[in-house]
Amino acid sequence: MPDRSPTLAALQAWLAQVYGGRRTLLAFDVSASTTSLARELSALGAGPLAVLAAREGIGTGPELPTRVVGAVGGDMMETLRAGEAALSSLQGADLDWLDAWDPDRGARVIRTLFSDGAPVGGRPSFGARPAAWQALEDKTTVDALWDAVGVPRAPSAVVPATGPALRAAHAALDQGAGTVWAADNKRGWHGGANGLRWARPGADLDALVAFFEERADSVRVMPFIEGVPCSVHGIVAPTTEGRVEVIALRPCEMLVLRRPGEARFVYCSVGTFWDPPAADRAGLRALAKAVGAALHARLGYRGTFTIDGVMGAEGFRPTELNPRFGGAIAAMGSGLGLPLYLLHLALVEGVPLPVPAADLEAELLAAADQTRVGGALAELPTPQQTRTLRLVAEEEGWRAATTEEAPAVTVHIGPWPSGGMLRANFAPTGAPVGPPLAHSLVRLLRWLDAAEQLGIGALEAAQERRFPPPA
């Protein structure tokens, strides 16, 4: 590993003070996703370590004491909720296992980024978010924050989840491309476009109404905006001087695909290959700083947050706020060698940042621009055997990489409660820098569907509309 900058060296030493010498339980949705975090904790001197997971997942978990409780649901979001509920209400043999590993119940618990932070087996979670922060994630309430901060947004209406109200809002807000409906948090947190639907022109509104009547009390309706789905991250950081600083990162593409003629979006993951015009990048970063300052002033917010939206013809229009660590920030920091999730949890706990916020911001921006990442995580409708494909691009598609070739993309396929799961990771040189990655991803998934008989079906990418670049 190359020599660290003074900023990164100071942060690593600080994290070692926060996490070192602590018995730590990783309570996650899948055990396979804890491997890198366990490695980071070990490097910081934490331990002993153990894993408590709802499922095994795709890949190999760390070589640690591990207990899988076996919670499953229907689709991906229901499975995640079932896993969270099982970890928050341990009983029987699962609780006995944890008590045998941690008999004095003094272990520090680290839960996954979307967790509500409830205790696990009577042990509090480190970096748990207060309920008032979690409430910001309700997509039917966030427009009030945009208006308070002065953020330009699309027109919208929050209406009861009833047929007459939804049809009226759709008719009033449709600007020609239909409207997008977002459910409230009646069923709890939802992400990955699970609670979103696109009421296309001529859509079967009866089916959409039935979907939301079952899942929500209220629904936000806004015009559909064509453009690149994207996000920008901020970090609200307490400092050793007693101040609070807001770090703003670079925009990221959200890989949200569509099926021709269907209402449901297909959320895959994130990518950093896409570069918006420089003025839009600067505008999104300024937005992150303003929103972060407002969140701290209103709620004492600390840690990472994400603003999601669409970069359309008129610029960025926000759609939601995620008051938590986001997957894209981990991707952006992959070339940095710093455990950003552990940094986030420490900030949530109020531990002051030991270096100037501007120095950390500069390191994060440089790493994100230098090392590009992106990929997909997609459910498959049919059962799958575990396998890994190392691929390089050809004019007509893809082929297996030879042992001498570095793959442009690595694809892991394996079982999942609903059938199968696919995880694809593009190498930093595996896709062009500048254009949206979604088009390359659609071509990859189309080829994989034909070559591996995965049952993915037809998918489309969003269309970029921000041209020519603003002056």
pLDDT tens per residue across span 23-72? 999 999 888 889 999 999 999 999 999 999 988 776 677 899 999 987 76
- What confidence tier does 1 reach under pLDDT thresholds 50, 70, 90? very low
d(CA 123, CA 219): 36
Cα separations in angstroms, 376 against 20, 91, 114, 256, 431: 33, 35, 18, 10, 13
Considering the domain architecture, whether residues 215 and 230 belong to the same structural domain is answered as: no
User: What is the identity of the amino acid at 385?
Assistant: Q
**What string of H, E and C letters represents the secondary structure of the chain?**
CCCCCHHHHHHHHHHHHHHCCCCEEEEEEEHHHHHHHHHHHHHCCCCCEEEEEEECCCCCCCCCCEEECCCCCCCHHHHHHHHHHHHHCCCHHHHHHHHHHCCCCCCEEEECCCCCCCCECCECECCCCCHHHHHHHCCCCCHHHHHHHCCCCCCCEEEECCHHHHHHHHHHHCCCCCEEEEECCCCCCCCCCCCEEEECCCCCHHHHHHHHHHHCCEEEEEECCCCEEEEEEEEEEEECCCCEEEEEEEEEEEEEEECCCCCCEEEEEEECCECCCHHHHHHHHHHHHHHHHHHHHHHCCCEEEEEEEEEECCEEEEEEEECCCCHHHHHHCCCCCCCHHHHHHHHHCCCCECCCHHHHHHHHHHHHHHCCCEEEEEEECCCCCCEEEEEEEECCEEEECCCCCCCCEEEEEEEECCEEEEEEEECCCCCCCECCCHHHHHHHHHHHHHHHCCCCCCCECCCCCCCCCCC
Query: Can you tell me the mean pLDDT for 257-281?
Result: 94
d(CA 127, CA 109): 9
CB-CB neighbours of 289 under 10 Å: 17
261 falls within a domain: yes
Q: Which two tokens stand for residue 290?
A: 């303003």
Q: Given a cut of 60, is residue 468 above it in pLDDT?
A: no
How much is the pLDDT for 104?
96
How much is the pLDDT for 190?
65
Structurally, the chain folds into a number of domains equal to: 4
Q: Which two tokens stand for residue 148?
A: 């308070």
471 falls within a domain: no
How much is the pLDDT for 83?
81
Select from 341, 370, 399 the last residue of a domain.
370
Name the residue range of residue 190's domain.
155-223
Considering the domain architecture, whether residues 51 and 118 belong to the same structural domain is answered as: yes
Considering the domain architecture, whether residues 362 and 394 belong to the same structural domain is answered as: no
111-125 burial: b if 16+ Cβ within 10 Å, else e: bbbbbbbbbbbebeb
76: closest CA among 219, 267, 329? Answer: 267
**Which region, left, alpha or beta, applies to residue 52 given φ > 0 means left and ψ of -120 to 50 means alpha?**
beta
465 falls within a domain: no
Query: Can you tell me the mean pLDDT for 226-230?
Result: 97
How much is the pLDDT for 186?
80
How much is the pLDDT for 74?
62
d(CA 364, CA 232): 13
Considering the domain architecture, whether residues 239 and 355 belong to the same structural domain is answered as: yes
CB-CB neighbours of 75 under 10 Å: 12
Q: HSE on the CB side for 88, CA within 13 Å?
A: 13
d(CA 186, CA 184): 6
- What confidence tier does 279 reach under pLDDT thresholds 50, 70, 90? very high
Per-chain mean pLDDT for the chain: 92
Q: Given a cut of 70, is residue 275 above it in pLDDT?
A: yes
User: Is the sign of the CA dihedral 101, 106, 107, 113 positive or negative?
Assistant: positive
Q: Given a cut of 80, is residue 162 above it in pLDDT?
A: yes
User: What is the identity of the amino acid at 453?
Assistant: Q
Q: How far apart are the first and last CA of the chain?
A: 41
378 falls within a domain: yes
| pTM of the entire predicted model | 0.92
Considering the domain architecture, whether residues 230 and 364 belong to the same structural domain is answered as: yes
- Reported residue count of the chain is 471
Tens-place pLDDT, residues 116-152: 899 999 999 999 999 999 988 888 888 989 999 999 9
CATH number of the domain encompassing residue 186: 3.30.1490
Considering the domain architecture, whether residues 87 and 116 belong to the same structural domain is answered as: yes
36 falls within a domain: yes
Considering the domain architecture, whether residues 380 and 444 belong to the same structural domain is answered as: yes
Considering the domain architecture, whether residues 357 and 237 belong to the same structural domain is answered as: yes
d(CA 97, CA 194): 34
How much is the pLDDT for 213?
95
How much is the pLDDT for 79?
72
Phi and psi, residue 92, nearest 5°:
60, -135
Q: Given a cut of 70, is residue 2 above it in pLDDT?
A: no
Can you name the residues that pair with 375 across neighbouring β-strands?
425
Angle at 20 between CA 18 and CA 23, to 5 degrees: 110
Ranking 8-17, 128-137, 202-211, 412-421 by mean pLDDT, the lowest is 412-421
Considering the domain architecture, whether residues 18 and 78 belong to the same structural domain is answered as: yes
For tokens 């239909």, name the residue. Answer: 178
CATH number of the domain encompassing residue 335: 3.30.470.20
CB-CB neighbours of 243 under 10 Å: 10
Q: Which two tokens stand for residue 35?
A: 């491997």
Select from 321, 336, 370 the last residue of a domain.
370
How much is the pLDDT for 467?
67
Q: Calculate Rg over the CA atoms of the chain.
A: 22
Select from 316, 339, 370 the last residue of a domain.
370
Can you name the residues that pair with 420 across neighbouring β-strands?
380, 415
460 falls within a domain: no
1 falls within a domain: no
For tokens 């701290």, name the residue. Answer: 296
Considering the domain architecture, whether residues 66 and 18 belong to the same structural domain is answered as: yes
Query: Can you tell me the mean pLDDT for 219-246?
Result: 95
64 falls within a domain: yes
**Which region, left, alpha or beta, applies to residue 61 given φ > 0 means left and ψ of -120 to 50 means alpha?**
beta
Considering the domain architecture, whether residues 203 and 299 belong to the same structural domain is answered as: no
Considering the domain architecture, whether residues 207 and 242 belong to the same structural domain is answered as: no
